[in-house]
Chains A and B, each alone.
Chain A
Amino acid sequence: MRSEEEVHTAIERYGDTVRRLCLLRLKNHADTEDIFQTVFLKYALSTMRFDSQEHEKAWLIRVTLNACKDLLKSFFRSRTVSLEELLDQPAPEAEEKRTWVLEAVLSLPQKYRDVIYLHYYEGYTAAEIGGILKKNVNTVYTLLARARQQLKELLGGDGDEE
């Protein structure tokens, strides 16, 4: 079991990452709160020793994605809200393009969303994503290629890299 101090540090350090994963996976804010509690409680209870912050972060990403999967299976949750509510804020005009990109990513099928986020935002390689999602690396390559293709179509074909 970890100390309160360690848990607080983890919430500060990885809160944004957990929040972004919740955005990828969940449809309302109340569920996000549940996931935060579940993930950091699991972290607090875990005796896992991490070699590095990267190791710790990858563990938390996996725990968050699994917690979201469990929650989505629960038949008690069905409420959905708009993206603006999910983001806790209205989208100002200057942010419109970013919101549009976010909407495009969120409109992809679940399996594509995960790999797009982990690869383009978190900077993981296909092999690392395979480790986190427990998928074969070739499957990850395929998912990434398809996800990129769909996203390009959604964003008007201006995708410019890998």
Chain B
Amino acid sequence: MRNEIRQAFDEVHASRELKDRTRERLARRMRRGWPAAGLRPVRRGLAAAAACLVLLLAGAGGSWLYFTPTAAISIDVNPSLELEINRFDRVIGVEGYNEDGRALADQLDVNHLNYEQAVEEILNSAVIAALLARDEVVTITVTGTDDRQCGRILSEVEMETAQSPNIHCHGARQEEVESAHDCGLSYGKYRAYLELQALDPDVTLEEVQEMTMRELWERIQALSVGTQSQGQSGGHHGEHGYGHGGGH
């Protein structure tokens, strides 16, 4: 029996990919400094406990603590929508920034979920999954008033989406996000809009609102190549100057 069991388990190995992915994910954490409570199951438990505590507080008149957004996660493909996150990492609002975004927001039921679950649910939704399958580009932007919370959220979201080459994550300043909202755009699209506008002053907000992120990037890239007369390497980011990491 011993030999059979040994032979059976000898066949089971951690694949090269699994080891490499683990190394990459840990290295990303290492670069940001190790968070105190970075363990997923533990964190979920704590988040749930925090949510219960918050409900108690809310009952005692502390609901403003729970219902005040401290961060926002903007998700742009063509549906553009934004999640409002409170200090307890819970989603307290979903807003669509264009027609598709509003339609998607209506279908979603992510209020009061932890932001990670909400982002996961959105990226796995039929609409977004289909767009990703078509190689569309998703931009996720994290912003807010609490730098530490934003840094943490950005780091988690980056890690959750690290395996998807078409999903890009950024941090942004609160003022920039407010300017984006004034224009009726979610932040990810607003940044692309500014870049495109610098290259093509005739572009209008209405036009941009209905374009997908991929269309925007392609147009920016085409114009950049034209104006700078030099080839730029592939990818949707480096060449457009989007800062990675906690850019708050």
Contacts and interface: CB of A to CB of B under 8 A. Distances in A.
B134 interface: no
Contact of A120 (B1, B23, B41): B1
Contacts of B22: 11, 15, 33, 36-37, 40
B159 to A, nearest CB: 8
Interface in A1-31: 1, 4, 7-8, 11-12, 15-16, 18-20, 23
B34 A70 contact: no
Nearest to A159: B1
Interface of B is mostly: helix
Interface of A is mostly: helix
B17 to A, nearest CB: 9
Interface string B1-21: 110111111011111001101
A71 interface: yes
Given A33-B21, A74-B41, A87 B14 contact: no
Contacts of B27: 4
Interface residues of B, number: 32
Nearest to A117: B9
Contacts of A41: 26, 29, 34, 38-39
B34 A23 contact: no
B5 A101 contact: yes
Contacts of A38: 39-41
Contacts of A98: 4, 7-8, 11
Contact of B4 (A12, A40, A101): A101
Contacts of B8: 98-99, 101-102, 105
Given A11-B19, A23-B12, A38-B40, A70 B45 contact: yes
Contact of A44 (B14, B34, B117): B34
B14 A18 contact: yes
B133 interface: no
A120 B45 contact: no
A129 B29 CA distance: 33
Given A87-B11, A98-B7, A98-B11, A12 B42 contact: no
Interface stretch (A48-56, A132-140, A148-156): A148-156
Most buried by B among A34, A148, A152: A34
30 contacts: A11-B19, A15-B22, A19-B14, A20-B9, A32-B18, A34-B40, A36-B14, A37-B26, A37-B40, A38-B39, A41-B26, A41-B38, A41-B39, A45-B38, A71-B41, A74-B45, A88-B15, A97-B4, A98-B8, A101-B8, A116-B5, A117-B5, A117-B9, A120-B2, A120-B5, A120-B6, A121-B5, A121-B6, A148-B1, A158-B1
